[in-house]
Amino acid sequence: MRFEIKNRFTGRIIFSLETDSLKLCVEAACKAGADLSRADLSRANLYGANLSGADLYGVNLYGANLSRADLSGANLSRADLYGANLSGADLYGVNLYGANLSRADLSGANLSRADLYGANLS
């Protein structure tokens, strides 16, 4: 099946891949160094995904499942993580500057050295 990752504002295709899941497509995009900033990944099931060091500036992860995902060192500044499941996720050193984490589940997440300046945690 072909999966496409699109820009949340323009709808332009950022990355596409013939694979078994959106999770594998996103991991491949990160590994290939694709610019996923402002991507629409709302409600995506990224359980256990390896997104370490990914540039996810301004990405829409509204309601996404990122439980047990490795986001260490990733740039999630200005990202929309409203209602996202980040339980048990590795957020070591992640940049969450200005991110919307309202109603996000951060139980058991590693937030060591994370930049939460200006993030909405309500």
Q: Domain of 88: which CATH number?
A: 2.160.20.80
21 and 44 fall within a common domain: no
CA 47 to mean position of chain CA atoms = 11
Domain count, the chain: 2
What pLDDT score does 84 carry? 99
pTM over the 0.85 mark: yes
pLDDT of residue 109: 99
pLDDT value of position 103: 98
Give residue 15's pLDDT.
Answer: 98
- Block mean pLDDT (10 aa), the chain, length 122: 98 98 98 96 99 98 99 98 99 99 99 98 93
User: Distances in Å between the alpha carbon of 56 and those of 1, 42, 111?
Assistant: 24, 13, 17
Closest CA to 120 of 91, 83, 88, 89: 83
Pair (52, 98) in one structural domain:
yes
Tell me what pLDDT residue 47 has: 99
Could you list the residue range(s) of the whole structural domain that residue 69 is in?
35-122
Residue with tokens 């589940």: 105
Question: Residue 114: its pLDDT value, please?
Answer: 98
Residue 111 backbone class (left: φ over 0; alpha: ψ -120 to 50; beta: rest):
alpha
11 in the same domain as 56: no
The C-alpha atoms of residue 40 and residue 79 are separated, in whole angstroms, by 10
Write down the pLDDT at residue 67.
Answer: 99
For residues 10 and 61, state if they share a domain.
no
